[in-house]
Structure 1
Amino acid sequence: MALFRRNAAVAQPERRASRRYAVDCPARLKMLGGDRIGRLSDLSEAGARLDTPNPPVEGVSGLLEWADQEHFCKVVWVNDNSCGLIFERPIPMAVVEHASQTVEAPSGPVANFGNIPLGQKRSRRSEFLRSE
């Protein structure tokens, strides 16, 4: 009954040299062929992931900028809307930790005022709860 035999799960070795941290901040990748604007979605001492609608081709080198940081890097993988970058030199862990703690708050109105109905009576339940 080899058909129902379970295969033992094979653990894949970790390929990354350093731990990744989730971040969310605006970034720019400057290259000779033009800049790509996007957002960093993860960061480590060795590299980063840049989410951008038009990622560059694999193998291109550039300067990654975010906040007050600038680091030379190379594109090592690309998919439809993001790319993986490896830094020329590892960046300090303090820079990674600072970026992972900084979360940009979205700006704009909390609610779309066009969706708020005006002139409607409150339900009887809310009136009942207020009278108690």
Structure 2
Amino acid sequence: MLEGSQSDARGRMSTRMAGAITIGRRRSTVAVRNISTGGAMIELPSPPDEGTRIRFETETTGKRDARVVWVIGNRCGLVFERPVEKSLPREAATA
């Protein structure tokens, strides 16, 4: 389970870490706004469409296959195909 100082009732932790997504051969840098064992909310200039399968990556989670489950403006929600099983360092919450 992810651990951190800003976890909410759903287990999501607010963060400001950098990440990346890859769709096909195209890699984009993203801002990770919150993260949990099951998914993340990311922000980027041109989010992928709902239903798009992507490869999500941060230093903490490593590479994770995910699917876009919602898009609002420049943010989108991801659900991981496999839950994250490692702890998130406390410094990620305030980075």
* TM-score bucket (shorter structure): 0.7 to 0.9
CA distance in 2, matches of 1:92, 1:85: 16
* CA deviation string 1:23-69 (max 9, x = no partner): 11111110116223211010000000011111000101111011251
- Residue segments in structure 2 that go unaligned for 5+ positions in a row: 1-9
Q: Distance in 2 between matches of 1:43 and 1:93?
A: 12
SS in 1 for 2:26: coil
Instruction: Give the whole-Å Cα distance in 2 for the aligned partners of 1:93 and 1:45.
Output: 8
Instruction: Considering Cα pairs closer than 8 Å and 6+ residues apart, tell me whether 1 or 2 has the greater RCO.
Output: 2
Give 3-state SS (helix, strand or coil) of 2:48's partner: coil
**TM-score between the two structures when normalised by the length of structure 1:** 0.58
Cα deviation for residue 70 of structure 1 reads: 1.1
CA contact (8 A) 1:77 1:85 kept: yes
CA distance in 1, matches of 2:86, 2:58: 15
Note if 1:48 corresponds to 2:40.
yes
Higher strand share: 2
- Which residue, out of 72, 75, 90, partners 1:79? 72
Question: Which has more radius of gyration?
Answer: 1
| TM-score in terms of structure 2 length | 0.78
Stretches of structure 1 that go unaligned for 5 or more consecutive residues are 1-17, 105-132
1:89 pairs with one of 79, 82, 95:
82
For these two proteins, the number of residue pairs brought into alignment is 84
Could you list the runs of 4 or more consecutive aligned residues of structure 1 that deviate by over 4 angstroms after TM superposition? none
